[in-house]
Amino acid sequence: MSATPTPGGDSGQRAAADAKWIGKPVILTGEGVDKKSQRPRSAWRTAPAPKAKTAPLSPEEAMKQALDEARKAGAKSYLDTSKVPLSASRQAAPQAATLGLPPTNLGDEPPAQDTSQCLDRGGASSAQGETLNRWLWCQKLRIGVQYFKIVDGKPEYQGTSSVAYHAVAVGNGQQRVLRTYLQAQYGSVEYDDWSLWDRYFTAPGLKMFILSDCAEGYDYCVSTGSGIEHTFDEWDYHREWLHWDIYSQEEASTATDKVLFHHWHFRFGGSGGGYVGPEATTADRAFRCDSANYFSQFGVDYPKACINYEVIPHLQYNISDTRVTSVAQHIRVAQDSPDSTYPIELEPKHIPGKYSGTRDDQGLHRVADGSVTAQANEDWKNYACNRTGPYGGDQAWRGLPPYDTATQDCDEYPFQSTEEGAANFTWDFSVRAVPRGENRSAGGLLRWYYFSDRVLYGNDAFWVEIND
């Protein structure tokens, strides 16, 4: 991806000797970066030089790196099921009209409501930005250039020009593409340390360009669109959202579901008025693309997608949600007091999947409906629920006591649809009789969670949080 050229060779050092101006691209993070005169100048830092495009890691290495980045970022993506409506027919299908589906036909501006919610969070003003959920990431930064003038062959600092911007990255639920947006904030340009003359007659005419780019090689991901260049005076009055698309090359993947992990960043630099200097980039952000063809909702298929990956995905049930109260209570007991649950085991029970705010604890991993694992989970659940198999005969005391099968279901945790379910010999499980309607509502909300957070079979760990 080429941008407006900014000559300079080895980080601008060779060009400096012949230039009227040289400069260092800089970034400022923290609260108030989008407001004038509310930031300490000492907080400026030189932006990192752009990295050369490289071939991606293996799928396993790339996933591990992305997980490590997500762990450091600490972003928390979740679906609060108490806010998901169920259909009037109680078939456990959320209403599309009242809950947003994954983004597909993205426009010239990012989704207004989610963007506003994301930018209001404290993490938006950090170097890594804020990941609202799997589909939307945002950031508020100030970027610019520290200018130096060559006097008698030596650089002398003249001043810093900068502009605040809002940025958003939105995944796509039907294509292997991530759309990145950037909006310079109206009236936010600042000219620090310039002389009075240069403040009005030199600095506003110097230029800065910016574009979005993929960190990996072109065989793996490609960014469309060119660098957008304006003078700082023009940036000060530029209101429109800019956007670039980053496409993931499906054919480059040999992994299941054609999964590829990528990184993207904004690249920026300056020019004009004799100025030359190096380019720089914002911090890399991770995203994942796949071609999993088992996602659909309301008769619409979502066969490919790209999502923001620096999150800790977790499903959230609330005990106060009367549709799932008994199921939520069951999961809480299973997570917090596993030895008090059925089936009774002779050794201490270890039940995974509790959300603790990190990725360090054992999560759950989705399996396909009807798979060997799902069927085995169902069999072992039934053994414990019906006091048969290993929980029958003289071991029946270990199984679930009899319950009203006319009005109740036997609920299990971890879920039947996970690798860590009842048949897993590494982890234990719990069963409990719950009202049938609540069990089916919880199951429908779980299926909606898998869809809305695009949880892939096998590789995607997720956690379960129970709130009051």
Q: Return the DSSP state at 127.
A: T
Tell me the percentage of the chain whose pLDDT exceeds 90.
Answer: 64
pLDDT of residue 55: 62
Q: Which helix (H) or strand (E) holds 448?
A: helix 436-452
Q: Are 417 and 442 in contact (CB under 8 A)?
A: no
Q: Is 409 exposed, middle or buried (0-12, 13-18, 19+ CB in 10 A)?
A: buried
Q: Return the DSSP state at 198.
A: H
- Does the pLDDT at position 156 exceed 70? yes
Q: Are 214 and 264 in contact (CB under 8 A)?
A: yes
Q: Which residue, 263, 345, 366, is CA-closest to 308?
A: 263
- Tell me, letter by letter, the H, E, C secondary structure of 63-80: HHHHHHHHHHHCCCCEEE
Overall pTM > 0.85: yes
- Does the pLDDT at position 362 exceed 90? yes
All residues at 6 or more sequence positions from 431 whose CB lies less than 8 Å from its CB, including other chains: 341, 342, 343, 381, 384, 385, 400, 410, 411, 412, 422
- 5-19, 177-191, 321-335, range with the lowest pLDDT: 5-19
Q: Are 368 and 374 in contact (CB under 8 A)?
A: yes
pLDDT of residue 61: 66
Task: Give residue 72's pLDDT band: very low, low, confident or very high (50, 70, 90).
Answer: low
Q: C-alpha angle with apex 101: 251 to 169, nearest 5 degrees?
A: 60
Give mean pLDDT, residues 256-279. 85
DSSP 261-276: EEEEEEEEEEEBTTEE
- Average pLDDT over the chain reads 87
Tokens of 78: 């979740």
pLDDT of residue 34: 79
Amino acid at 239: R
Q: What is the pLDDT of residues 446-466, one digit of tens each?
A: 999 999 999 999 988 999 999
pLDDT of residue 5: 35
Q: Which residue, 127, 133, 75, 26, is CA-closest to 449?
A: 133
* Coil vs helix vs strand at 184: strand
* Coil vs helix vs strand at 213: strand
Task: Give residue 6's pLDDT band: very low, low, confident or very high (50, 70, 90).
Answer: very low
- Does the pLDDT at position 58 exceed 70? no
pLDDT of residue 15: 36
Give mean pLDDT, residues 341-353. 96
Looking at mean pLDDT, say which of 17-26, 91-100, 109-118, 356-365 comes out highest: 109-118
Distance (Å) of CA 245 to CA 53, 95, 96, 182, 232: 17, 30, 26, 12, 25
pLDDT of residue 53: 72
Task: Give residue 32's pLDDT band: very low, low, confident or very high (50, 70, 90).
Answer: confident
* Coil vs helix vs strand at 3: coil
Tokens of 351: 């039940």
